[in-house]
Amino acid sequence: MRTLSAFIASSTSFGHCFFHRLTLRHSHKTLASPLAPCFRRHFTPTMAAPEDSLRKALADKQSEVENQGNQVRSLKAGKAAKSEIDAAIEALNALKLQKASIEKDLQASLSSADGSVNREAFRQAVSNTLERRLFYIKSFNIYGGVAGLYDYGPPGCAVKSNVLAFWRQHFVLEENMLEVDCPCVTPEVVLKASGHVEKFTDLMVKDEKTGTCYRADHLLKDFCNDKLQKDLNITAEKAKELKHVLAMLDDFSAEELGAKIKEYGIVSPDTKNPLSDPYPFNLMFQTSIGPSGLIPGYLRPETAQGIFVNFKDLYYYNGNKLPFAAAQIGQAFRNEISPRQGLLRVREFTLAEIEHFVDPEDKSHPKFSEVAELEFLMFPRELQMSGESAKAIRLDEAVAKGIVNNQTLGYFIGRVYLFLTRLGIDNKRLRFRQHLANEMAHYAADCWDAEIESSYGWIECVGIADRSAYDLRAHSEKSGEALVAHEKFPEPREVEVLVISPVKKEIGLAFKGSQKNVVEALESMKEKEAFALKADLELKGEVDFYVCTLGKNVSIKKNMVKISKEKKKEHQRVFTPSVIEPSFGIGRIIYCLFEHSYYTRASKAGNEQLNVFAFPSIVAPIKCTVFPLVQNQKYEDIAKDISKSLTVAGISHKIDITGTSIGKRYARTDELGVPFAITVDTTSSVTIRERDSKDQIRVDVKEAASVVKEVTEGLRSWADVWATFPHHSSVSADE
Amino acid sequence: MRTLSAFIASSTSFGHCFFHRLTLRHSHKTLASPLAPCFRRHFTPTMAAPEDSLRKALADKQSEVENQGNQVRSLKAGKAAKSEIDAAIEALNALKLQKASIEKDLQASLSSADGSVNREAFRQAVSNTLERRLFYIKSFNIYGGVAGLYDYGPPGCAVKSNVLAFWRQHFVLEENMLEVDCPCVTPEVVLKASGHVEKFTDLMVKDEKTGTCYRADHLLKDFCNDKLQKDLNITAEKAKELKHVLAMLDDFSAEELGAKIKEYGIVSPDTKNPLSDPYPFNLMFQTSIGPSGLIPGYLRPETAQGIFVNFKDLYYYNGNKLPFAAAQIGQAFRNEISPRQGLLRVREFTLAEIEHFVDPEDKSHPKFSEVAELEFLMFPRELQMSGESAKAIRLDEAVAKGIVNNQTLGYFIGRVYLFLTRLGIDNKRLRFRQHLANEMAHYAADCWDAEIESSYGWIECVGIADRSAYDLRAHSEKSGEALVAHEKFPEPREVEVLVISPVKKEIGLAFKGSQKNVVEALESMKEKEAFALKADLELKGEVDFYVCTLGKNVSIKKNMVKISKEKKKEHQRVFTPSVIEPSFGIGRIIYCLFEHSYYTRASKAGNEQLNVFAFPSIVAPIKCTVFPLVQNQKYEDIAKDISKSLTVAGISHKIDITGTSIGKRYARTDELGVPFAITVDTTSSVTIRERDSKDQIRVDVKEAASVVKEVTEGLRSWADVWATFPHHSSVSADE
């Protein structure tokens, strides 16, 4: 008889093997992308018509210049009349001027399409403020730092814990998810089952003389971008080719990448030495568990595996009912070859992941109606293939038309949209991009990335994937533990089932020690195979049969196995649940939030640009500041009393009793994104200032803390407060 | 002239070296204990009078039995009269009975002193409930698990995040601490500076045949405990010796441990094979950063180093003012040799650490008065040395009498006491134990551990240490970055300073490439040394001078260095701040909380013991459950409405609409420590039940969520609510 575990195995396997090795189609891509945010910039094909015609015009003009130059030289050689030579030279100069003008236009066209100059200036301005105010710090800076490792300083750390608290409220609490907390140190067997040990790699090249390592695709990408942006003399055809290479970058095999690197003569960027062929480098940090050195382990590259291995317990905890979701927030680690892009590509980062387990035959969602009417930028694969842009689509329409595979996936896309925009992400710079067919793992039903536009381009910040039953099956097979769900039928159903009964006595006599392997191989046959074998046995009495765990054929006789179909009463359906996985790169979301919240405004005197982070209260690292207007014991005492009330109310705040001008103190806290400031300017009442409007109201000392609490926690809007309390205007507040 | 960095170096060094290697006095102990909770069980000497006298009586009786036996044998050999022989045998039997009775008494005395039977039964009961309700799960269980790694399941994870949220509120927010968030992956240089690479070790022995590793001190400890508890025939002297070994365990060197293991003939516990000599094993998980394999790194064994390396930026962020505190919550890792004690000794755990930087010349604390009157169990080293127990001492008295070194240390001891007891730790099973002189690192000014009594004995859960300037100096020296604070004088002060001016030209001529080493060695001399050298030079003109960075003497001539004292105006004092470090083992606190909160009570029918966790609301994983009394659409709708209101109010809750009896549903949630249950038994009003009293009140449907919010968030007490609303009694609620 077939066992339950055999059933699970056979439902995914395609041979006689109980534990077959899964063949993941692509290496770094397949794993990096659907398992979690792959944190890879997506290249969006763009129309390059003006660039093309300018490149052609430039090439034409260049040959005109060359022809005219030849003309001048032959006139001189033929000792033509001076007037004739002068005229030819004049014509040559005119052509050169025309060429220079086209060059200038092309340059302008390239830099406006690219926008890199403005983007980099903006990024630099944001980074300067973030670093100066310790939102983040290069880790271990006094020792020179380590690439790809950053600390959150006090305001950054507060923003992060606010984002995580809101994530818990918005997802875990709202959906009654089962939150778990698993270790970072993970034994090898778990990551072998998930495929990471074999496939979680990037392609690397080494400087053949110094041994310095580079990501092969980065070098090729830099080469292409550089050529396209700085070399005005490449032909339109060459430009097209380079753009095609950029678009295909993620699909290249090691051999293809190596061939392109050779073809373009790319060398080590630092030394100009030749480079090795590309080869895969595993991105997991390796370690060893226990003192013997015999248990290899890794730092987890994602938190999801901790949930999958606990499926059985969590399903039980949920009363053996589907659907349910488990969630985990924690550190993940990727030993990037050469981290770039600041906070966006780091070696250690916080992931927040949800695994929503659902019956594959019913992916509807009871709360879908709550998000159905949302409309936002979606970028389905059809639009990407035809070179169009993302467009606003209503979520219910997207699901109804099959653009989004199912309601549950659609529900999470909607919830992610609400989460990001409530945090302060600008919805005009947020799009949901569907994975192209060649980007998705073979087992995935559908994948969408929430991409946020930043100075680095469109950045994947959340991946939302319907991963079907892949992960649970992988761990079922590796561990031998059935990770399945049960649906009890209201009444037993009569079904025809395949019954394979190996005759153990005969098999034992024939194969001795290999008995178990042969029995398992027989039992894991599917119906078609089994009846083919039966027919063969009846015809020939004896047939060759491949046993993969032995790696060879054995000879099976008719008396060794009985194969039949029998009617059976089934009381339940046993199946591997599908999983829908929204996976959040918290650091990336925070970085994009910094960029989207940042703006500058002129100081009152007009001689300075002041920095502001327009964080919503929910995100702001500090909700409120308390300032005595001038240094004065009475005002200080009141400020301290208000500070105490704020502490009791759980409102994070800062008291600043320095004698600095009130305008400067406001400017300092605007830079930290503090939404409200209480200024003590009398002993009976104080002012409360809102950061972005710079509007001020006057409130009784006793009310100050509770008003701030209400506006901070969203119980009251600023507009409401503004309509309720007397207004206050002062020169200093506007500074 | 001496540079600023030379000043820092010289203030800790004792030779001529600029960067001298610090000699930490003991290996595993010194580092494991003062850097962070060392998580080591403390052996408290106890009086063993009854045990001693029983062991003596037993030995006496044994020799009486032997004498009488000889007597019987010689009577038989001498063919004495039967009656005489019978009388002797009768006397022998009587002696044997007396011996058996003493053995029984001794056994009883040992097990009551030890209490291990009851403790283990209690621990098993708690663990069963914790595991069954998924408070925690053995990590990677489907693959057989990994020793020392545990997951928090849904209720455990919620408890943990509640404890951390309260920690943030109680420490970070209340004290305006600067919270940071640094990576776990740490480059070697940082942990070399801190001393961990060299000294963070435990002593290990290996089974000489199988290679299995054991902690040397554990084997010796097990041997001694086993002998003491199970071998009734050891003498009182031997028992005393074994107890002395247990008390000294942490002080033994590798050689001493090895000698004891040989002396007692201890072998491998699993195979009985001989054991290797003890040798140090570094407890840090090692890894490699980046693709080259050339940058060694470790997983941090504590979070504190991330704060120390950022001191300069944090001091600046705080407006260059002392005192201030930085805090960090995060994972830490220790590759334990053979983890035991379940959740108490694990390989990955959450630490919450505070580094409070303070002027070493002023360790007063402005808020000390707020904790001064607290009185709780303290265990100063004098009481430990004299074999007494911990006793209740008022905090202000402890500081005034110098039992606690300073006010700031005292303030944090008080705050830790409040934190733990508010979480639900029983204050009768909480004591603050001072480190003995030989337990403390040489640089520490004073150390206290908050120890909580559990079924494993007294467990160190929080370490509160005044570490003086050790850490900042260590990183200053290694990095060359001055980690110092400044105190500006209101008016410049005239001071006499030592001026050492090496004559670089002469030194350069004499020592060429070694010029820098010689100059640095000269500059880092202290006053006494410098003037001794000066006197010598004036006497002899030339003297030998040891340069440690060269590892040899060089010959210094009179014209190579000028040494004098000069009057100088100083505008500020530059100094290395002291640091006071409260360090919290979050997992240990949570485990003790589980034990302290657990109790059982008989079911209504009396046929069953029901488990309850009496968590305070602040800790409870779920604050409230919502039950329709019977399965009924109207009740279900009301339950769902209440559930929505609770979600909006941010109250984590669970709705249970199964048809299970209400008593069973209460019992299930009591096991999760849910403090309140709302039962829908009419369409207009509902009952609210309190977990421990099982009292119920009747509340209008519309009020239910807000009443629960108020009692949960501590805005109202249950007593107050009980006095306000009508009471309700039902059979089922009491089930």
pLDDT attached to residue B44: 39
Nearest-by-Cβ selection for A142 from B179, B285, B479 = B479
| Residue B667, min C-alpha distance to chain A (Å) | 16
Task: Inform me whether the pLDDT recorded for A112 exceeds 70.
Answer: no
Q: Are B299 and A204 a contacting pair at CB < 8 A?
A: no
- Tens-place pLDDT, residues A375-405: 999 999 999 988 889 999 999 999 999 999 9
Task: Inform me whether the pLDDT recorded for B21 exceeds 50.
Answer: no
The answer, for A730 touching chain B at a CB cutoff of 8 Å, is no
Which SS3 state, helix, strand or coil, does residue A673 take?
Answer: coil
Q: Which residue has the higher pLDDT, B658 or A90?
A: A90
Per-residue tokens: A478: 């590796």
Nearest-by-Cβ selection for A143 from B140, B187, B647 = B187
pLDDT attached to residue B114: 62
| CB-CB contact of B414 with B401 (8 Å) | no
- Tens-place pLDDT, residues B316-362: 999 999 999 999 999 999 999 988 778 888 999 999 999 999 999 99
Question: Chain B interface, mutation test: which of A5, A140, A308, A355, most B Cβ atoms within 10 Å?
Answer: A140
Q: Are A190 and B143 a contacting pair at CB < 8 A?
A: yes
Spatial distance between the Cα atoms of A137 and B307, rounded to a whole number of angstroms: 11
Task: Inform me whether the pLDDT recorded for B96 exceeds 60.
Answer: yes
3-state secondary structure B60-98: HHHHHHHHHHHHHHHHHHCCCCHHHHHHHHHHHHHHHHH
Tell me which DSSP letter residue A703 carries.
G
Minimum CA–CA partner of B313 in chain A: A134
Residues of A408-430 as b/e, b for ≥16 C-beta within 10 angstroms? bbbbbbbbbbebbeebbbeeeeb
pLDDT attached to residue A5: 34
The answer, for B184 touching chain A at a CB cutoff of 8 Å, is yes
| CB-CB contact of B436 with B448 (8 Å) | no
Task: Please report the number of interchain residue pairs, chain A to chain B, with beta-carbon separation below 8 angstroms.
Answer: 212
Q: How far is CA A32 from CA A187, A442, A447, B652, in A?
A: 20, 13, 13, 34
pLDDT band, residue B115 (cuts 50/70/90): low
Question: Chain A interface, mutation test: which of B8, B135, B142, B283, most A Cβ atoms within 10 Å?
Answer: B142
Which phi and psi angles does B432 have, rounded to 5°? -105, 115
Chain-centre distance for alpha carbon B182 = 21
Nearest to B654 by CA among B620, B604, B685: B620
Spatial distance between the Cα atoms of B169 and B299, rounded to a whole number of angstroms: 28
DSSP string, B184-222: SEEEHHHHHHTTHHHH-EEEEEEBTTT--EEEHHHHHHH
- Tens-place pLDDT, residues A433-453: 999 887 887 788 999 999 999
- Percent helix, strand, coil in chain B (nearest 5)? 45, 25, 30
Amino acid at A348: E
Structural domains of chain B ordered from first start: 51-113 (1.10.287), 115-197+293-484+576-605 (3.30.930.10), 201-282 (3.30.40.230), 489-575 (3.30.720.200), 622-723 (3.40.50.800)
Task: Inform me whether the pLDDT recorded for B304 exceeds 60.
Answer: yes
pLDDT attached to residue B341: 78
Q: Are A179 and B169 a contacting pair at CB < 8 A?
A: no
Spatial distance between the Cα atoms of B451 and B462, rounded to a whole number of angstroms: 7
| CB-CB contact of B467 with B440 (8 Å) | no
Tell me which DSSP letter residue B361 carries.
T
Q: Are A153 and B314 a contacting pair at CB < 8 A?
A: yes
Which SS3 state, helix, strand or coil, does residue B255 take?
Answer: helix
Neighbours of A666 (CB within 10 A): 23
Spatial distance between the Cα atoms of A680 and A336, rounded to a whole number of angstroms: 51
| CB-CB contact of A315 with A118 (8 Å) | no
Nearest to A28 by CA among A433, A491, A367, A337: A337
| Residue A299, min C-alpha distance to chain B (Å) | 9
The answer, for B347 touching chain A at a CB cutoff of 8 Å, is yes
Task: Inform me whether the pLDDT recorded for B673 exceeds 80.
Answer: yes
Amino acid at B151: D
The answer, for B660 touching chain A at a CB cutoff of 8 Å, is no
Residue B727 exposed, middle or buried by CB count within 10 Å (0-12, 13-18, 19+): exposed
Question: Chain A interface, mutation test: which of B129, B143, B652, most A Cβ atoms within 10 Å?
Answer: B143
Which SS3 state, helix, strand or coil, does residue A35 take?
Answer: coil
Question: Chain A interface, mutation test: which of B28, B149, B181, B314, most A Cβ atoms within 10 Å?
Answer: B181
DSSP string, A344-383: GS-SEEEEEEEEEEE-TT----TTGGGTTT-EEEEE-HHH
Nearest-by-Cβ selection for A291 from B176, B213, B306 = B213
The answer, for A146 touching chain B at a CB cutoff of 8 Å, is yes
Per-residue tokens: B575: 């100094």
pLDDT attached to residue B608: 87
| Residue B465, min C-alpha distance to chain A (Å) | 23
Residue tagged 């992931």 (tokens)? A351
| CB-CB contact of A355 with A343 (8 Å) | no
Spatial distance between the Cα atoms of A505 and A663, rounded to a whole number of angstroms: 92
Q: Are A153 and B180 a contacting pair at CB < 8 A?
A: yes
* pTM higher than the cut 0.90: no
Between positions 528 and 547 of A, the ones with CB within 8 A of B are none
Dihedral in degrees, nearest 10, Cα atoms B441, B442, B446, B449: 10
Q: Which residues of B touch A669 (CB under 8 A)?
A: none
Instruction: ipTM value, please give it.
Output: 0.82
Q: Which residues of A touch B151 (CB under 8 A)?
A: 180-183, 306, 310
Tell me which DSSP letter residue A544 carries.
E
Per-residue tokens: B59: 């030995």
Q: Which residues of A touch B313 (CB under 8 A)?
A: 134, 137, 141, 153
The answer, for B276 touching chain A at a CB cutoff of 8 Å, is no
Task: Inform me whether the pLDDT recorded for A176 exceeds 60.
Answer: yes
Long-range pairs, A479-484, Cβ under 8 A, ≥24: A479/A193, A479/A309, A479/B142, A479/B143, A480/A5, A481/A312, A481/B142, A482/A4, A482/A5, A482/A8, A482/A312, A483/A8, A483/A308, A483/A311, A483/A312, A483/A576, A483/B142, A484/A4, A484/A8, A484/A574, A484/A575, A484/A576, A484/A577
Task: Report the DSSP beta bridge partners of residue A685.
Answer: A700
pLDDT band, residue A3 (cuts 50/70/90): very low
Average pLDDT over every residue of A646-653: 88
Q: Are B140 and A295 a contacting pair at CB < 8 A?
A: no
Average pLDDT over every residue of B130-155: 95
Q: How far is CA B735 from CA A233, B116, B677, in A?
A: 87, 33, 14
Which SS3 state, helix, strand or coil, does residue B464 take?
Answer: strand
Spatial distance between the Cα atoms of B403 and B446, rounded to a whole number of angstroms: 10
Q: How far is CA A310 from CA A173, A191, A298, A304, B271, in A?
A: 20, 15, 19, 10, 34
Which SS3 state, helix, strand or coil, does residue A430 take?
Answer: strand
Q: Are A173 and B312 a contacting pair at CB < 8 A?
A: no
Spatial distance between the Cα atoms of B579 and B307, rounded to a whole number of angstroms: 11
Residues of B675-697 as b/e, b for ≥16 C-beta within 10 angstroms? bbbbbbbeeebbbbbbbeebbbb
Task: Inform me whether the pLDDT recorded for B429 exceeds 60.
Answer: yes
DSSP string, B298-316: EE-S-SHHHHHTTHHHHHH
Residues of B211-240 as b/e, b for ≥16 C-beta within 10 angstroms? ebbbbbbbbbbebbeebbeeebebebeebe
Q: Strand B676-680 vs strand B653-655: parallel, antiparallel, or unpaired?
A: unpaired
Half-sphere exposure of B575 (CA within 13 A, CB side): 18
Nearest-by-Cβ selection for A213 from B291, B297, B347 = B291
**Mean pLDDT lowest among A678-682, B26-30, B523-527, B634-638:** B26-30
| Whole-number percent of chain B with pLDDT over 70 | 92
- Percent helix, strand, coil in chain A (nearest 5)? 45, 25, 30
- Tens-place pLDDT, residues B490-548: 999 888 888 899 998 989 889 888 888 898 889 888 888 899 999 999 999 899 999 88
Minimum CA–CA partner of A644 in chain B: B174
pLDDT attached to residue B49: 55
Q: Which residues of B touch A347 (CB under 8 A)?
A: 183, 185, 289
Q: Which residue has the higher pLDDT, A45 or B177?
A: B177
**Mean pLDDT lowest among A48-57, A208-217, A302-311, B431-440:** A48-57
Q: Are B185 and A348 a contacting pair at CB < 8 A?
A: yes
**Mean pLDDT lowest among A107-121, A210-224, B224-238, B650-664:** A107-121
Task: Inform me whether the pLDDT recorded for A455 exceeds 70.
Answer: yes
pLDDT band, residue A733 (cuts 50/70/90): very low
